[in-house]
Amino acid sequence: MNKRPAPYAKARSQYTDYMVKEPMELMTFLSTVMPQASRTKIKSLLTKRIVYVDNVITTQYNFPLKPGMKVQISRNKKVQEFHSRLLKIVYEDAYLIVVEKSEGLLSVNTERQKERTAYTILSEYVRRANKRNRIYIVHRLDRDTSGLMMFAKDEKTQHTLRDNWHEIVFDRRYVALVHGEMERNAGTVHSWLTDRTLYVSSSPTDDGGKESVTHYHTVKRGNGYSLIELNLETGRKNQIRVHMQDLNHPIVGDGRYGREEDANPLGRLALHAFKLCFYHPVTGEMMHFETPYPASFKALL
C-alpha cells in the first residue's frame, strides 16, 4: 500500500524551483533555465501569472534578479488569468492566496452589506478552474484600509491559520499618515476597546473591554503630518484608528475617529497594511510579503 505524500512534499510539487546565482533580468534567466522555450512561450508564462520570484507572482520580463533569489514556475496548467482594479494577487499556491486590497473594497460581505467584496472576487476566480473550489476567510481589513491580507483555499488550512494566528504570523505591519507631528519617535498605546457597533470606545483601564496593544514608530515628520509604522500585538476592530485618536494624532481621512476641522487631502483613509510575514501553514516555509508605502502618503510630507 502506497503511503500518501507528506503535506510538505505535496505543496512543493506544485512548482519547479530555480535558484539565482548571478545578477540578470528575469527573461534572460528563464531563457537560461529553459533553453528549449521560445521568448513567446516565456512571455506567455509571465502573462499567465505562474512565475514567482521569492514567493511573489512576477510578470515583469525585465525584473532584476539578484543572487540568492528563488524563481518558481507553477506546474498547474489550469491557472486562470486574474484581472481586477480593486484587488491584486501577490501570491498563490495550493493552500492559500495573498492579495493586496484597494481602499473602499470590503473584505467580506456582512448581513447588512451585500456587495462585491474581496471574498466574492476571489471566489469567482478560483471557481473558473473548478466549480467546487472555494475561498475561506482567515482575517479582515477594514473597508477603507488598503494592503495585504490572505485567504485559505481549504477548510483545514483556514482552521490552522485561525487557531494558531499568533504563532504563525510573526510580522504584520501597517503604515499610516496622521495629522500633526508626532512628539515621540516610538511608543506603545495600551487600552481596553469596547465595540459599540458603529463606534469603538477606548479606556486606559480595564472596563470590561478587550485589551489592545499597538506599537508605533515615527518614520518622518513634515508639513503638519507624520508618517508612522504600526505593529499590532492584538487585532481588534478599528484598533489603529482608535489608538491614533487616543494619541491626538488621528489618521488622515478618518471621518469616524478624526476631528471635524481636519482636512482630507487624499480623499481616503491613510492606512495601509504594507507587510505580512508568516510561516506557511502546510510547508512551514518562512513567507515574507511587503508592498511600498503608498506614494500619496509620502507626497504630503
Tell me what pLDDT residue 283 has. Answer: 86
Tell me what pLDDT residue 9 has. Answer: 44
**Is-catalytic flag, 142?**
yes
Check if the beta carbon of residue 175 is closer than 8 Å to that of residue 169: no
Tell me what pLDDT residue 7 has. Answer: 47
Comparing 165 with 2, which gets the higher pLDDT?
165
Confidence band of 176 (pLDDT split at 50, 70, 90) = very high
Q: Could you give the CA distance from residue 161 to residue 282 in angstroms, rounded to a whole number?
A: 10
Three-class SS string for 56-106? EECCCCCCEECCCCEEEEECCCCCCCCCCCCEEEEEECCCEEEEEECCCCE
Q: How many CA atoms lie within 13 A of 100 on its CB side?
A: 19
Catalytic residue among 93, 142, 144, 254: 142
Nearest Cα to Cα of residue 49 among 24, 73, 84: 73
Percent with pLDDT over 90 in the chain: 65
- What is the distance in angstroms between the CA of the first residue and the CA of the last residue of the chain? 66
Set of cell numbers at residue 147 = 494592503
pTM of the prediction?
A: 0.76
- What does the pLDDT look like over 19-30, one tens digit per residue? 999 999 999 999
- Specify the domain boundaries for CATH 3.10.290.10 within the chain: 15-79
- Work out the number of other CB atoms within 10 angstroms of the CB of residue 98: 21
Mean pLDDT (the chain, rounded):
89
* Residue in this structure with the C-alpha cell 471574498, named with its chain if needed: 119
CATH number of 15-79: 3.10.290.10
Nearest Cα to Cα of residue 235 among 273, 197, 203: 273
- What does the pLDDT look like over 193-202, one tens digit per residue? 999 888 999 9
- What does the pLDDT look like over 113-158, one tens digit per residue? 667 899 999 999 999 878 899 999 999 999 999 999 999 999 999 9
Q: Would you identify the CATH topology of the domain 173-273?
A: Pseudouridine synthase (3.30.2350)
Tell me what pLDDT residue 6 has. Answer: 47
Query: Strand, helix or coil at 287?
Result: strand
- What does the pLDDT look like over 227-277, one tens digit per residue? 999 999 998 999 999 999 999 999 999 999 999 889 899 999 999 999 999
* Beta strand extents in the chain (DSSP E only): 15-19, 24-25, 51-53, 56-57, 64-65, 70-74, 87-92, 96-101, 136-137, 146-152, 169-179, 186-195, 200-203, 210-222, 225-232, 271-279, 286-290
* Residue in this structure with the C-alpha cell 472596563, named with its chain if needed: 207
- Specify the domain boundaries for CATH 3.30.2350.10 within the chain: 80-163, 173-273
CATH number of 80-163: 3.30.2350.10
Comparing 247 with 43, which gets the higher pLDDT?
247
